[in-house]
């Protein structure tokens, strides 16, 4: 398939409404009636909710049950006009933000000196942590060419942070179990290293890095260590309490100097809320921004955003209070039990190999079938999974949407069908060739192609 054909596949996937919904390329001369606008939104909802509501999506929607959604939406509505940029007007948000940070810190082993802040999601939490380490190392150690040691499986947001903030990534390989090679981490640390990163667990495979071993190395070298628990931070503590073997990964370890965790994943809050925590308040201060001489007055913020939606803070606070420890433990038991059975069923399929050990992610590859063709055929049955690369694979992050036995059985049945279809000789189609393209072309060419994709998504050209 040529590049035009691939763009056509993207067009079909990402902009399917061009002929079935009215277009608004400019403001309507006269406002559209509110009832008509709401009707359009309901049509979007009906067209899309089946994708996640029936459990066809990997991750993305981590709870989604009607009563839970109604509750969090009502909480959001009650604070929808509020903005934490104006704490004098909405001091309730000061209380709620502080309590979200405190509850999360307690869950993740924080001590009396632990401090933190809310961000818009895991990416911003990671960006803020890397900026804090860069600035701290520049001031305290005089480092002007900062480096960050990253496992190959670390979230792409760390690469983004390096790109934005002038950090040099030192990528270390993975071992055969898909966790970071600890000896390679040790060797990668240099006099310019400002932070070492480990995943708890990583996004691609759901595999835990050796956070204890890596953070001890960082501690011995006098380097900060960031534990990225964005995916697992609201699930692993309850997994441990349920008897699952979860190694130490959080602020209980003396070498862990910061950690990121996303309530909007397995914390079941609305998108997008994340928490970044630091063992030392001085590190958090490097995240702050204060403008002292602006004509508009003294300006300060804890993260990249100025104005932030107070409704999200209220909804996250309400969700955490309403679930409590018992609620989180109950949901964790259901998810972990279902994931264990899902992984076992996938691993039993001929030609399918699970990639690493995980409590709640099923990552796999196939042979002799092309795993991207398997993913494409699963998409034809309605499944929206995450494609992996280097090496090729597919993963399914198990959520509340997958706890029903019927969902698990349907996935395994569709996987059997997809394996048979992928074994037949046929030309690649859909989005599957894009993954092959990324594997085959130089990085520069892949970048140019996806710049065109982004242009097209937003501008249609």
pLDDT tens for each residue of 101-155: 999 999 999 999 999 999 999 999 999 999 999 999 999 999 999 999 999 999 9
Specify the pLDDT at position 1: 47
Residues above pLDDT 90, as percent of the chain: 76
Whether residue 432 is predicted with pLDDT greater than 60 in this model: the reply is no
Residue 179 lies in a domain: yes
Residue 28 lies in a domain: no
Residue 166 lies in a domain: yes
Specify the pLDDT at position 4: 63
Kindly report which listed range (36-40, 56-60, 145-149, 326-330) carries the lowest average pLDDT score: 56-60
Rounded distance between C-alpha atoms, residue 318 and residue 315, angstroms = 5
Whether residue 188 is predicted with pLDDT greater than 70 in this model: the reply is yes
Question: Which tens digits make up the pLDDT trace of 92-103?
Answer: 999 999 999 999
Q: Do 214 and 144 share a structural domain? A: yes
Specify the pLDDT at position 25: 83
The number of folded domains in the chain is 2
Rounded distance between C-alpha atoms, residue 334 and residue 405, angstroms = 11
Across residues 70-74, what is the average pLDDT? 95
Residue 29 lies in a domain: no
CATH classification at residue 226: 3.40.640.10
Residue 71 lies in a domain: no
Q: Where are the beta strands (DSSP E) in 274-398?
A: 274-278, 289-291, 299-301, 352-354, 361-366, 386-388, 393-397
Residue 255 lies in a domain: yes
- Other Cβ atoms less than 10 A from the Cβ of 220: the count is 11
Q: Do 104 and 52 share a structural domain? A: no
Tokens of 79: 């604070």
Burial of 444 per CB tally in 10 Å (0-12, 13-18, 19+): exposed
Boundary residue ending a domain (278, 299, 321): 321
Which distant-in-sequence residues (6+ apart) come within 8 Å of 251 by Cβ?
105, 108, 109, 110, 111, 114, 259, 277, 279
Residue 347 sits in which domain range? 3-21+36-65+325-446
Q: Is 279 helix (H, G, I), strand (E, B) or coil?
A: coil
Answer positive or negative: Cα dihedral of 405, 411, 414, 420: negative
Rounded distance between C-alpha atoms, residue 261 and residue 265, angstroms = 9
Boundary residue ending a domain (270, 303, 321): 321
What is the DSSP secondary structure assignment for residue 100, as one 8-state letter?
A: H
Q: Do 118 and 40 share a structural domain? A: no
Q: Where are the beta strands (DSSP E) in 120-160?
A: 147-151
Q: Do 313 and 396 share a structural domain? A: no
Whether residue 72 is predicted with pLDDT greater than 60 in this model: the reply is yes
Residue 159 lies in a domain: yes
- Other Cβ atoms less than 10 A from the Cβ of 20: the count is 8
Q: Do 95 and 231 share a structural domain? A: yes
Boundary residue ending a domain (321, 337, 370): 321
Q: Do 306 and 423 share a structural domain? A: no
Average model confidence (pLDDT) for the chain?
91
Question: Which tens digits make up the pLDDT trace of 326-356?
Answer: 999 999 999 999 999 999 999 999 999 999 9
Find the helix packing angle between 310-347 and 91-107, rounded to 10°: 30
Q: Do 276 and 184 share a structural domain? A: yes
Q: Do 147 and 183 share a structural domain? A: yes
Q: Do 336 and 307 share a structural domain? A: no
Q: Do 168 and 59 share a structural domain? A: no
Specify the pTM.
0.91
Q: Do 207 and 119 share a structural domain? A: yes
- Other Cβ atoms less than 10 A from the Cβ of 398: the count is 29
Residue 439 lies in a domain: yes
Q: How confident is the model at residue 55 (pLDDT cuts 50, 70, 90)?
A: confident
CB 417 within 8 A of CB 387: no
CATH classification at residue 369: 3.90.1150.10
Return the closest-CA partner of residue 105 out of 120, 93, 92, 115. Answer: 115
Q: Do 298 and 179 share a structural domain? A: yes
């Amino acid at each position: 398939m040529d590049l035009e054909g691939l763009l056509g596949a993207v067009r079909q996937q990402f902009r399917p409404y061009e002929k079935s919904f009215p277009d608004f390329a400019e403001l309507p001369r006269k406002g559209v009636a509110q009832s008509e606008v709401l009707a359009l939104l309901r049509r979007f909802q009906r067209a899309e909710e089946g994708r996640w509501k029936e459990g066809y999506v990997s991750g993305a929607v981590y709870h989604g049950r009607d009563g839970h959604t109604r509750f969090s939406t009502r909480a959001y509505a009650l604070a929808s006009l509020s903005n934490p940029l104006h704490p004098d007007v909405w001091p309730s948000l000061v209380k709620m933000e502080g309590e979200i940070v405190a509850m999360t810190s307690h869950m993740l082993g924080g001590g009396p000196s632990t401090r933190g802040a809310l961000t818009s999601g895991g990416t911003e939490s990671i960006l803020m942590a890397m900026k804090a380490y860069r600035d701290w190392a520049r001031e305290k150690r005089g480092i002007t060419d900062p480096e960050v040691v990253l496992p190959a499986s670390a979230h792409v947001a760390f690469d983004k942070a390096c790109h934005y903030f002038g950090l040099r990534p030192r990528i270390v390989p993975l071992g055969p179990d898909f966790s970071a090679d600890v000896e390679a981490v040790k060797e990668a640390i240099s006099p310019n290293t400002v932070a070492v990163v480990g995943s708890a667990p990583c996004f691609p495979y759901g595999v835990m890095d050796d956070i204890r071993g890596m953070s001890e190395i960082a501690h011995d070298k006098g380097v900060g260590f960031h534990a990225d628990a964005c995916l697992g931070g609201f699930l692993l503590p309850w997994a441990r309490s349920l008897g699952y073997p979860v190694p130490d990964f959080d602020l209980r370890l003396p070498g862990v100097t910061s950690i990121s965790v996303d309530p909007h994943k397995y914390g079941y809050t609305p998108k997008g809320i994340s928490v970044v925590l630091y063992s030392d308040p001085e590190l958090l201060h490097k995240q702050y921004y204060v403008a002292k001489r602006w004509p508009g007055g003294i300006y300060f913020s804890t993260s990249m955003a100025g104005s932030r939606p107070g409704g999200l803070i209220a909804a996250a606070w309400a969700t955490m209070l309403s679930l409590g420890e018992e609620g989180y433990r109950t949901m964790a038991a259901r998810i972990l039990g279902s994931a264990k059975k899902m992984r076992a069923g996938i691993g039993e399929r001929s030609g399918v190999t699970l990639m690493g050990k995980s409590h709640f992610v099923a990552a796999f590859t196939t042979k002799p079938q092309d795993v991207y063709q398997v993913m494409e055929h699963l998409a034809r049955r309605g499944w929206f999974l995450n494609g992996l690369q280097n090496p090729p694979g597919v993963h399914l992050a198990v959520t509340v949407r997958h706890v029903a036995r019927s969902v698990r059985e349907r996935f395994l049945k569709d996987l059997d069908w997809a394996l048979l279809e992928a074994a037949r000789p046929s030309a690649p189609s859909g989005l599957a060739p894009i993954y092959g393209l990324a594997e085959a072309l130089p990085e520069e060419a892949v970048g140019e192609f996806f710049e065109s994709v982004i242009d097209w998504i937003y501008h249609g050209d």
